């Protein structure tokens, strides 16, 4: 008998605009000691599936089909039986460890809470030990722990009553690559040691590939592909799976590198004039050194990736290069001339260098239409000529066609990818020569990521636009960049061409980062050979 | 292009109005305000101002309500109904003017402090705190004693003492708006202070300011009545506060002339209640966080 079996499960939500079907006849099974991955984009119904296992769905949900936990149907359980099953038989690692812990209780008490409720005896320090946290962490309040530590506390909490099934909903989404790798290791070890069944939900195929035995890909509430994880990822059959797999490229895999050799010609790149140069740049916030002496060059028509963990000073560096933050020491040169300090000088500089922000939803004023958002820069700079024509041109460069159709849309009427295109169009309207993109795809769905990256490459080819792409994702750097600079604690520890840095890293930190990237089923590239 | 923008604004205004109209208390307040406003505007056209002139009176003082004087007469023999009617005008004008002044100062100080930050914010907010801790009535009394008596002085005294709360509110809202990434984008596009404040901050802050205004009017009218009651108002004009002052001075209580005390008092209550009802309803419409609690 399977530990968990979903038979023809459908979930409908009763909304103001009629009934919406979130999950459509999903059938899945999981044995003890196994890991099942559930992949899909936001809104595909994967979290609804997870919540239906413990009947945690909101009141307006209507469930059809069966959810069998150890052969017992969850839907027909009495309230008391359900309470006993929750946590003791199956538990959940909730999404977003930052908010799932109560800030006013010590984490030890929170781990002990389910044990107290179920009358189970157990030791908090033992549980903490299992997730590789010191026993004294039990005395800490959530704010005293890092993101990865909090996530491990959540896992310890899920294990408190020794359940046989654990459901992890996006357990590593908000975490850095290095921390993500540690958390995934903990989960993998627990599955094999304690013979529990793990359902892991993620939008990131590479995370699932490195932990799961079986993989199910969901789209619009339906399972479009299911099978052994390695097979699904190595040779996806459904186009949606292919798009998802392509969005998380493998470093070193030539197929996922989208820069054509002609673009990346090293000799050609060296001849191009230097567009932006930072010399000995330092930015201090009080006593913290956010940027501690950075030398960086971006040449015309070149895409440079700035890679680093969160807190490494990447964003501060970007803001300083844009002139939004004044450096403590050092200087920024654009075409050999130092960045002006006057307001009018900076304004002129902004026509050359533009910014694309991480989250397009918050980067657009919700009250402004697409037209207003794109025309904003033109109005600030009092650009001559036909405004509507320039807006239309910028929108079609950003591949929002036909542009007139989007003029009067408000941001909330667009999809995430379309919003990011509007942000890019707003930058393009000014005809800049360099784009500084801060995590341009981090908040987008997987299938849209590839499109936005392809757009950046096409803009480089068609308009000769250089870009400095800031990212925590080495795969992204591998996909589109000519050169990579690795940032660690405010310093650039390594920079060079993509092949040099990512295939034969010299610095210890670069190697750590690379080792932490989850790998697909494809064979490991030769790390020792020079490109 | 502006046609589309205006079309959208009309649609938004329509939606806001429908939501406002769905709240009965807000509608009651609005109707009350409209009635009072129309009465105040029409006073010179439907009534005879000469009835306020003590030298041309026919009725005797302290007459109780009768068919000729519906609300009786005051210590001079003037009709209390006429006095109260004309008092509406001054109370409303002073209340609105003082509110405009107060909200203007508060908004400018609040946005400036939040937008520029640093020492500008420190200086402005300490200045605000100074006004916040001063008992505003005492300050208003002091101001209207020092300055020449008149309508302008009352407006100034109320306006200058009631802005700190608005300033704090606007500052908080501005800080919240400026933390949003679209402000960073506007800056990166080359937008200066004027652009950021005019295009992004003000439109986001104005609804809040508007709600605050309707609520401030109510307290400004009360403040005006208080100052006039204390005898600090414009002695040449009739307002509800000055009516109560006169009633108090000339012994309306010992004359048992309840008809002289109640109408101006009720006037204050009605106007303040109407403004408060409107303000609360608007607040619910414009602040989505309050909607769930209805």
User: Which tokens hold the place of A90?
Assistant: 């199956």
DSSP A402-452: SGGGGTT--GGGS-HHHHHHHHHHHHHTT--SEEEEESTTTTS-HHHHHHH
**First vs last Cα of chain A: how many Å apart?**
52
| Contact in structure between B98 and B223 (CB atoms under 8 Å) | yes
DSSP A293-347: EEEEEEETT-EEEEE--TTSSHHHHHHHHTTSS--SEEEEEETTEEPP-SHHHHH
Pairing between β-strand A18-30 and β-strand A4-15 as defined by DSSP bridges? antiparallel
- pLDDT tens for residues B96-112? 999 999 999 999 999 99
**First vs last Cα of chain B: how many Å apart?**
38
Answer yes or no: CATH 3.40.50.300 is held by domain A4-247. Answer: yes
Q: How many angstroms separate the CA of residue B42 from the nearest CA in chain A?
A: 40
The two most distant CA atoms of chain B are separated, in Å, by 75
Helix, strand, coil shares of chain B, percent, nearest 5, are 80, 0, 20
Asked if A362 lies within 8 A of B180 by C-beta distance, the reply is yes
Domain count, chain B: 1
Cross-chain CB nearest to B182 (options A346, A351, A363): A363
Helices (H), A54-145: 79-85, 97-100, 107-118, 124-130
Contact list, A358 vs chain B (CB under 8 Å): 181
What average pLDDT is seen over chain B? Answer: 86
- Domain, as residue range, for B269: 80-277
Range among A212-221, A310-319, B142-151, B282-291 with highest mean pLDDT value: A212-221
Q: For residue A28, is pLDDT > 50?
A: yes
Contact list, A367 vs chain B (CB under 8 Å): 203-204
Asked if B191 lies within 8 A of A388 by C-beta distance, the reply is no
d(CA B140, CA B129): 17
User: Which tokens hold the place of B76?
Assistant: 């001079």
Give the confidence band of A320 by pLDDT, cuts at 50, 70, 90. very high
d(CA B288, CA B294): 11
Beta bridge partners of residue B75, listed in sequence order: none
Asked if A350 lies within 8 A of B189 by C-beta distance, the reply is yes
Average pLDDT of span A158-168 = 89
Contact list, A376 vs chain B (CB under 8 Å): 186, 189, 191, 199
Average pLDDT of span A262-285 = 74
The single-letter DSSP state of residue B292 is: G
User: Which tokens hold the place of A117?
Assistant: 């409720």
Other beta carbons within 10 angstroms of residue B162's beta carbon come to: 23
Other beta carbons within 10 angstroms of residue B273's beta carbon come to: 16
Q: For residue A95, is pLDDT > 80?
A: no
Pairing between β-strand A288-299 and β-strand A274-285 as defined by DSSP bridges? antiparallel
Torsion angle, alpha carbons of A281, A286, A287, A289, to 10: -30
Residue B36 lies in a domain: no
d(CA B212, CA A195): 61
Give the confidence band of B124 by pLDDT, cuts at 50, 70, 90. very high
The single-letter DSSP state of residue A161 is: T
Dihedral pair phi/psi, residue A360, rounded to 5°: -65, -25
Beta bridge partners of residue A497, listed in sequence order: A483
Residue of A nearest to B194 (CA): A380
Q: For residue A529, is pLDDT > 50?
A: no
Query: Among A23, A33, A45, A27, which Cα is nearest to A169's?
Result: A45
Pairing between β-strand A303-307 and β-strand A72-73 as defined by DSSP bridges? unpaired
- pLDDT tens for residues A420-468? 999 999 999 998 999 999 888 877 877 788 888 889 999 998 888 999 9
Residue B174 lies in a domain: yes
d(CA A21, CA A23): 6
Average pLDDT of span A255-270 = 61
What are the sequence ranges of the domains in chain A?
Answer: 4-247, 249-301+311-349+474-525
The two most distant CA atoms of chain A are separated, in Å, by 76
Choose from A365, A387, A439 for mutation: most chain B CBs within 10 A: A365
pLDDT for res B23: 87
Average pLDDT of span A275-290 = 87
Pairing between β-strand A214-219 and β-strand A222-228 as defined by DSSP bridges? antiparallel
| Contact in structure between A475 and A498 (CB atoms under 8 Å) | no
Mean pLDDT lowest for which of A76-85, A331-340, B250-259?
Answer: B250-259
What value does the CA radius of gyration of chain A take, rounded to a whole number of Å? Answer: 25
Residue B177 lies in a domain: yes
Cross-chain CB nearest to B185 (options A351, A355, A408): A355
Q: What is the CATH number of domain A249-301+311-349+474-525?
A: 3.40.50.300
Other beta carbons within 10 angstroms of residue B210's beta carbon come to: 14
Cross-chain CB nearest to B195 (options A371, A380, A388): A380
User: Which tokens hold the place of B251?
Assistant: 């012994």
Cross-chain CB nearest to B190 (options A359, A380, A388): A380
Pairing between β-strand A483-488 and β-strand A303-307 as defined by DSSP bridges? parallel
- pLDDT tens for residues A58-77? 888 889 999 998 888 888 88
d(CA A495, CA B59): 99
d(CA B267, CA B43): 15
Residue B114 lies in a domain: yes
Task: Report residue A510 CA to chain centroid gap.
Answer: 19
For chain A, say whether B199 makes contact (Cβ under 8 Å).
yes
- B121 burial (CB, 10 Å; 0-12 / 13-18 / 19+) is middle
d(CA B110, CA B170): 5
Asked if A407 lies within 8 A of B195 by C-beta distance, the reply is no
Fold identical between A4-247 and A249-301+311-349+474-525? yes
| Contact in structure between A145 and A137 (CB atoms under 8 Å) | yes
Q: For residue A525, is pLDDT > 50?
A: no
Residue B166 lies in a domain: yes
- Residue A197, classed as helix, strand or coil, is strand
The single-letter DSSP state of residue B73 is: B
Query: Among A109, A171, A112, A107, which Cα is nearest to A142's?
Result: A107
User: Which tokens hold the place of A95?
Assistant: 């999404």
pLDDT for res B116: 92
Contact list, A357 vs chain B (CB under 8 Å): 181, 184-185
Average pLDDT of span A520-528 = 43
d(CA A354, CA A484): 20
| Contact in structure between A67 and A6 (CB atoms under 8 Å) | yes
Find the CATH number of the domain harbouring B226.
1.10.3720.10
Torsion angle, alpha carbons of A368, A371, A377, A381, to 10: -120
Asked if A371 lies within 8 A of B4 by C-beta distance, the reply is yes
The single-letter DSSP state of residue B192 is: -
Residue B34 lies in a domain: no
The single-letter DSSP state of residue B225 is: H
For chain A, say whether B185 makes contact (Cβ under 8 Å).
yes
- pLDDT tens for residues B192-227? 899 999 989 998 898 888 888 888 888 899 888 888
For chain A, say whether B3 makes contact (Cβ under 8 Å).
no
- Residue A435, classed as helix, strand or coil, is strand
pTM: 0.78
Helix, strand, coil shares of chain A, percent, nearest 5, are 40, 25, 35
What average pLDDT is seen over chain A? Answer: 85
Does residue A402 have a cis peptide bond before it, meaning omega lies within 30 degrees of 0?
yes
């Amino acid at each position: 008998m399977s530990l968990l079996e979903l038979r023809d499960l459908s979930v409908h939500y009763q909304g103001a605009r009629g009934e919406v079907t979130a999950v459509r006849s999903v059938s899945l099974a999981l044995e003890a000691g196994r890991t099942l991955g559930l992949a899909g984009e936001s809104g595909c119904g994967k979290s609804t599936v997870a919540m239906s296992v413990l009947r945690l769905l909101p009141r307006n949900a209507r469930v059809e089909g069966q959810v069998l936990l150890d052969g017992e149907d969850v839907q027909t359980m009495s309230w008391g039986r359900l309470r006993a099953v929750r946590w003791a038989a199956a538990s959940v690692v909730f999404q977003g460890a930052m908010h799932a812990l109560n800030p006013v209780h010590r984490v030890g008490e929170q781990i002990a809470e389910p044990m107290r409720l179920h009358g189970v005896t157990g030791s908090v320090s033992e549980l903490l030990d299992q997730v590789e946290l010191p026993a004294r962490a039990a005395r800490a309040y959530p704010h005293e722990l890092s993101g990865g530590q909090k996530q491990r506390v959540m896992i310890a909490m899920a294990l408190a009553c020794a359940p046989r099934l654990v459901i992890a909903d996006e357990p590593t989404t908000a975490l850095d690559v290095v921390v993500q790798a540690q958390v995934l290791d903990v989960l993998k070890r627990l599955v094999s040691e304690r013979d529990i069944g793990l359902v892991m939900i993620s939008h990131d195929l590479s995370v699932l590939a490195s932990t799961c035995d079986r993989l199910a890909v969901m789209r619009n509430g339906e399972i479009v592909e299911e099978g052994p994880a390695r097979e699904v990822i190595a040779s996806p059959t459904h186009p949606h799976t292919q798009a998802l797999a392509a969005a998380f490229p493998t470093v070193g895999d030539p197929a996922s590198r989208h820069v054509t050799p002609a673009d990346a010609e090293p000799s050609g790149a060296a001849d191009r004039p230097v567009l932006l140069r930072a010399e000995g740049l330092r930015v201090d916030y009080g006593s913290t050194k956010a940027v501690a002496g950075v030398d960086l060059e971006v040449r015309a028509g070149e895409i440079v990736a700035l890679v680093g963990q969160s807190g490494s000073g990447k964003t501060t560096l970007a803001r300083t290069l844009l002139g939004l933050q004044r450096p403590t020491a050092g200087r920024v040169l654009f075409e050999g001339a130092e960045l002006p300090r006057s307001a009018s000088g900076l304004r002129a500089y902004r026509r050359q260098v533009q910014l694309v922000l991480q989250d397009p939803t918050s980067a657009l004023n919700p009250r402004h239409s697409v037209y207003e958002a794109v025309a904003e820069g033109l109005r600030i700079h009092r650009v001559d000529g036909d405004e509507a024509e320039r807006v239309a041109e910028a929108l079609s460069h950003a591949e929002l066609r036909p542009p007139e159709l989007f003029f009067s849309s408000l941001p909330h009427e667009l999809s995430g990818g379309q919003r990011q295109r509007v942000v890019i169009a707003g930058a393009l309207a000014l005809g800049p020569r360099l784009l500084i993109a801060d995590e341009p795809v981090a908040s987008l769905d997987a299938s849209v990521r590839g499109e936005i990256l392809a757009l950046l490459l096409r803009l480089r080819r068609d308009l000769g636009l250089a870009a400095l792409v800031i990212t925590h994702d080495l795969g992204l750097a591998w996909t589109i960049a000519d050169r990579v600079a690795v940032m660690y604690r405010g310093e650039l520890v390594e920079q060079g061409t993509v092949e040099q840095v990512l295939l034969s890293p010299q610095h210890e930190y670069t190697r750590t980062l690379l080792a932490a990237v989850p790998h697909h089923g494809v064979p490991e590239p030769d790390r020792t050979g020079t490109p | 292009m502006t046609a589309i923008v205006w079309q959208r604004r009309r649609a938004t205004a329509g939606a806001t109005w429908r939501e406002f109209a769905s709240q009965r208390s807000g509608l009651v307040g609005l109707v009350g305000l409209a009635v009072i406003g129309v009465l105040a505007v029409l006073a010179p056209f439907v009534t005879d101002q000469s009835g306020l002139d003590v030298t041309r009176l026919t009725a005797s003082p302290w007459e109780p309500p009768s068919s000729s004087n519906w609300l009786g007469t005051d210590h001079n023999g003037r009709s209390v109904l006429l006095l109260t009617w004309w008092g509406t005008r001054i109370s409303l004008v002073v209340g609105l003017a003082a509110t405009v002044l107060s909200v203007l100062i508060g908004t400018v100080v609040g946005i400036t402090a939040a937008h520029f930050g640093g020492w500008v914010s420190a200086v402005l907010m300490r200045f605000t705190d100074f006004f916040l801790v001063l008992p505003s009535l005492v300050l208003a009394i002091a101001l209207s004693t020092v300055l020449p008596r008149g309508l302008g002085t009352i407006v100034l005294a109320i306006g200058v003492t009631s802005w700190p709360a608005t300033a704090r509110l606007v500052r908080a809202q501005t800080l919240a708006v400026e933390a949003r990434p679209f402000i960073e984008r506007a800056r990166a596009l080359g937008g200066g202070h004027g652009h950021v404040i005019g295009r992004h901050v003000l439109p986001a802050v104005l609804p809040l300011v508007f709600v605050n205004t309707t609520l401030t009017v109510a307290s400004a009218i009360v403040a005006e009545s208080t100052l006039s009651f204390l005898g600090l108002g414009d002695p040449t004009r009739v307002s509800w506060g000055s009516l109560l002052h006169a009633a108090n001075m000339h012994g309306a209580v010992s004359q048992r002339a309840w008809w002289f005390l109640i109408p101006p008092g009720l006037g204050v209550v009605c106007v303040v209640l109407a403004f408060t009802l409107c303000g609360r309803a608007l607040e619910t419409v414009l602040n989505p966080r309050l909607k769930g609690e209805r």
